[in-house]
Amino acid sequence: MNIVDMGSNVAAKLRASVSQGCSWLWEEINQKEETKLMVCVALVIAILWYARMAKKSSKGKLKLPPGPRGLPLVGNLPFLDSQLHIYFTSLAKNYGPIIKLWLGSKLCVVVSSPSLAKAILKDHDTIFANRDVPVAALTLSFGGQDLVWAPYGQHFTMLRKVCVREIMSKKNLDSFYTLRRREVRQMVSDIFAKIGTPVNFHEQMFVTSLNVILSMIWGGTLDGEERHTVGLEFRRGFEEVVELLGTPNVSDLFPVLSVFDLQGIVRKMKKLSSWLDTIMNLVIDQRLKKDRLAEKGEKEEGKEDFLQLLLGLIEEGDPKTSFTVAKLKGLLLNLLLGATDTTSTTVEWAMAEMMKHPEIMRRALEELEEVVGKNNVVEESHLPKLSYLGAILKEVLRLHPLVPFLVPRRPSQSCVVGGYMIPKGAQVLVNVWALHMDPKAWENPVEFQPERFLNATNKYEFGGNNFSYLPFGSGKRMCVGVPMAERMLIYVLASLLHSFEWRLPEGEKLDLSEKCSIILKKETPLIAIPMPRLSIPELYS
């Protein structure tokens, strides 16, 4: 089970899942004798497994971390809170910065201090470089052919090098500025057409992020009504993927029961994976046809898109990369999922926090007027001068870290951390939210104070070297999309602030409640009404 990806109401979902599974089992038992025997055997194996692990722990063969007592078979599952990041942080106050929980037959270890995060992510990085992969993720990632879920080794190293060298290099990202600018200006134009009417912030940001990454991946973009309808279709599909990855799965909790797929999660994920695979096949075929036509005539002018670059690696057949179509699809899927929901969620949090703190928004607007001016539009060349807006972004990522536990790790061998043994195969979570709320590292940690980053620029960069601040992780599995995220997040945020005034609909109150899932989202979407700030209408074209 991928516990970091649990959505809201975890305990309620688990009880519902168990209830549904029991209902299914009861029907099957009444209908088929062979199913009755198979399920009974599986349950006996699950109980024996749990008993063996509990006995092993009680004998002291492994000095496991402390943690709350659980129940037989289900362990601590019934006691989990929907706000998992807060729940784990409260447990750390009682049991210490490293704790254990039994989630069914799975041992989960959570660390919540900078020193222990450093031990996991740096000192023993290679041991903890593997992922703890839920069965739903295996289905989605073509069996671990992508970058996010691939096991640590030659395949992962090759994919990461390809991503860093061919996609995220400064040279390549610079060359795609025209595409990013086009989509951001289109976003401004779309919002200008909705002046005075409520705008769903997350939906608008998702469509913009999607178009940026589509343009960079295969030169494609969505125009007109297609921009809205297809963008929302992608959003619904991606949200369902995230929901399935975040649903507590009996198949992960009790692997011996995975053959039954009691909740139908694998079946649903296969359907979504097939949908995404069809889209990628169409895009790849179109690109190959386009390239063959170009070979017969004159070569296309302009920058190659990511898809051309990656198809070129396959054509070269370099044994050092052994790049295949399956790996290409996995990497494209990572880019699509990683560059859309994360960007839209971060920008939504930033706008919500500034609307809650008008004095912070006022100071950001003053900086924009000084650097950009009211008779100009925001360009990427302005961004290095927007230090206060950069501090706002860093504070948003501190207070609302995108992935509050990072992606869970799985040690390749048993390892001592903090004086306790973490067994091989355990699920290991780094509670980044707890690190970012640690009063020993942060003054008034619950307060939104961008000023804390103004005089500590080098101390709190996104490189993963300060283990009190890890919005993008650290070590070998650190997010490779940081260079693109740094450009896009502040560029989009600056353009939205500079072009429009934002207000809540009449009678509405700002709600900053969180929903703990793969991504730490707002519980309720931000709905805001834009009004023009610039006096020259042409600046909205």
For residue 354, what pLDDT is reported?
97
For residue 308, what pLDDT is reported?
83
3-class DSSP state for residue 430? strand
pLDDT in tens, 73-128: 999 999 999 899 999 999 999 999 999 999 999 999 999 999 999 999 999 999 99
Burial of 258 (0-12, 13-18, 19+ CB in 10 A): middle
Handedness of CA 435, 438, 440, 445 (dihedral sign): positive
**pLDDT bucket at 41, cuts 50 / 70 / 90:** low
3-class DSSP state for residue 481? coil
Checking if the pLDDT of 34 tops 60, the result is no
H helix or E strand, kind and range, residue 208: helix 201-218
Asked if residues 450 and 137 have their Cβ atoms less than 8 Å apart, the reply is no
Least confident of 141-145, 206-210, 321-325: 321-325
Q: In what order do the strands lie in the sheet with 98-103?
A: 98-103, 106-111, 427-430
Asked if residues 376 and 325 have their Cβ atoms less than 8 Å apart, the reply is no
For residue 395, what pLDDT is reported?
97
Contacts of 59 (CB under 8 A, 6+ apart): none
Mean pLDDT of the chain: 85
Q: What is the largest CA-CA distance in the chain?
A: 77
pLDDT over 90, % of the chain = 59
CA–CA dist 428, 117 (Å, integer): 11
pLDDT in tens, 389-437: 999 999 999 999 999 999 999 999 999 999 999 999 999 999 999 999 9
pLDDT in tens, 499-510: 999 999 998 999
Fold of domain 3-540: Cytochrome p450 (1.10.630)
532 φ, ψ (degrees, to nearest 5): -70, 140
Checking if the pLDDT of 219 tops 80, the result is no
The partner residues of 520 in beta bridges, in order of sequence, read 516
**pLDDT bucket at 449, cuts 50 / 70 / 90:** very high
For residue 468, what pLDDT is reported?
96
Least confident of 119-123, 198-202, 338-342: 338-342
Checking if the pLDDT of 221 tops 80, the result is no
> 37 or 458, which is more confident?
458
**pLDDT bucket at 361, cuts 50 / 70 / 90:** very high
Residue 368: name the closest of 380, 356, 381, 385 by CA.
385
Checking if the pLDDT of 216 tops 90, the result is no
> 65 or 290, which is more confident?
65
For residue 337, what pLDDT is reported?
86
> 74 or 60, which is more confident?
74
Give, in order, the Cα–Cα distances in Å from 145 to each of 140, 155, 277, 369: 10, 8, 13, 47
